Structure 1
Amino acid sequence: MSISENTAPPRTALVTGAGRGIGLGVTRALLEAGWQVAALDLEFGAEAESIAAAQQVTCDVSDEGSVAWAFDTLAGFLEGGLGLLVNNAGVADPASGPVETLSLDGWNRWIGTNLTGAFLMVRSAVPYLRDGQGAIVNITSTRAAMSEPETEAYAASKGGLTAFTHALAVSLGPDIRVNAVAPGWIATGDRSALRDQDHAQHPAGRVGRPEDIAEAVLYLAGAGFTTGQVITVDGGMTRKMIYAE
């Protein structure tokens, strides 16, 4: 099967975990770039006022019925196909405690949202993405390749999402491209609380911003010859050797 080199995907995007943090930044950037966006999250607070132009849908991506309901709700939005799916929803706190005391429910909390949620979204979105010859961008993490203590569930979920990315790229190509962005430390709150040493430890000279991830997502949305890849956006930290003094 081949695709037309002159076919442009529709400028419609679906972003999960869009109500705050990285997802909010990605949604805002897409809107500013002229995309029509459907934003999914468990709830939308005051921060979401900045993405009022997006169609906001309450959805628990870890719940099969909730995802099905969201896609039914977005039937009109998806009618012309989908240009971009951004799987960003996730349990942000990586600390799960000692593995020997980690409950199965606790483990499933990270896996269910961070990994199974992406699967459920992809499964429902594929027909619309295929119609639009669109793209998927999964938001994984540098923790898929490096860890702090007591973060097994989070690391496993993001490692799984990284592998899910290249498997999808092979299965869904050439109609649908699938890539991932692996953020490092992205500060989504009050940046004035960051210390000088927090910034200085990064080769890029600062802690990341949601806008940094949004830039990578926008690039991948239009990078027609890029698929199955993970772009690391971490200010260079995964390339820096650190030894205790």
Structure 2
Amino acid sequence: MSHSITQNVILVTGGAKGIGKGICQYLSNKNNIVIAIDIDIDAGHQLVADNPKIRFWPADVTNKNDLTTIINEITLQFGQLNGLVNNAAIANPYNTPLDLLPIDEWQRIIDVNLTAPLMVTQQCLSLLKASHGSVVNIASTRALQSEANTEAYSATKGGIVSLTHALAVSLGPEIKVNCVSPGWINATNDILSQSDHQQHISGRVGNTDDIAEVIELLICTQSGFITGQNFVIDGGMTKKMIYTE
């Protein structure tokens, strides 16, 4: 089957809610073909209702058969893939207190947050090599700093940063691989206090466009010299020394 698509085709995992939804909306509004996959079917249908330009396909990123089906469908419909955003994750940073943390809870977070991005990237390799495309992994500032009882989440996000530069070395020069580490991003448009905003060096809490703009740079521009990097997008908070007064 021949294809004559001139737009970028971008796959976003965990694209139905939160930061993933904001990424999908932003990239779609920039005239890209955006495919969101998510395990939450209701949220996926709402995503498309809010923005009919976005494609939504239900999938579990830990299920290899689901992933194979998605990649086969992308190949059939579009014949190309220019960008992959590995965003899907168990987003709550707090695990069961360490002395009670069950190993199956730890393992589930590892499976979704760290193993799945590797699996999805593996499935996309042939399409991304053909397009000289880009992978952007979503890490977190939790890779750099922690609170109590965040062992599982923090370990996966630190792993994502390391996985990113390992993949960049393995897949270059055909495929660029970078990651973005968001700080506090108000993905649900909550009402925040002035102190919430003012504690940031930037003077405000982040929004999903702050993350999506960097992803657009890495996927949709000719930024061929940028690979293996971790972009911390946190309003400067990881550079601010904070002591209890």
- TM score, norm. by length of structure 2: 0.92
How many angstroms apart in 2 are the aligned matches of 1:10 and 1:173?
23
Residue equivalent to 2:116: 117
Residue equivalent to 1:62: 62
User: Over the residues paired in the alignment, what is the CA RMSD in angstroms?
Assistant: 1.4
CA distance 1:170–1:10, shift in 2 (3 Å): farther
Cα deviation, residue 234, structure 1:
0.2
Q: How does 1:21-100 map to 2 (within 5 A)?
A: 21-42=18-39, 43=41, 44-79=44-79, 81-100=80-99
CA distance 1:153–1:40, shift in 2 (3 Å): same
Q: Is the 8 A contact 1:165 1:228 kept in 2?
A: yes
The amino acid that maps onto 2:13 is T
How many residue pairs are counted as aligned between the two chains? 235
Give 2:13's match in structure 1, choosing from 16, 23, 29.
16
How many angstroms apart in 1 are the aligned matches of 2:185 and 2:86?
17
Secondary structure in 2 aligned to 1:39? strand
How many angstroms apart in 1 are the aligned matches of 2:91 and 2:144?
17
The amino acid that maps onto 1:219 is L
Q: Is the 8 A contact 1:59 1:67 kept in 2?
A: yes
Cα deviation, residue 75, structure 1:
2.8
Secondary structure in 1 aligned to 2:75? coil
Q: Is the 8 A contact 2:164 2:178 kept in 1?
A: yes
- TM score, norm. by length of structure 1: 0.92
How many angstroms apart in 2 are the aligned matches of 1:210 and 1:117?
22
Deviations along 1:3-44, one digit per CA (max 9) or x if unpaired, are: xxxxxx961111111101111111111111111111111121
Cα deviation, residue 46, structure 1:
2.5
Matched, 1:244 2:244: yes
Report the more deviating stretch, 62-71 or 31-40.
Answer: 62-71
Instruction: List alignment gaps of at least 5 residues for structure 1.
Output: 1-8
Q: What is the aligned-residue identity percentage?
A: 41
How many angstroms apart in 1 are the aligned matches of 2:178 and 2:231?
8
How many angstroms apart in 2 are the aligned matches of 1:77 and 1:142?
36
How many angstroms apart in 1 are the aligned matches of 2:110 and 2:56?
24
Cα deviation, residue 195, structure 1:
1.6
Deviations along 1:91-129, one digit per CA (max 9) or x if unpaired, are: 110000212211122112211111111011100001100
How many angstroms apart in 2 are the aligned matches of 1:215 and 1:57?
24
The amino acid that maps onto 2:125 is V
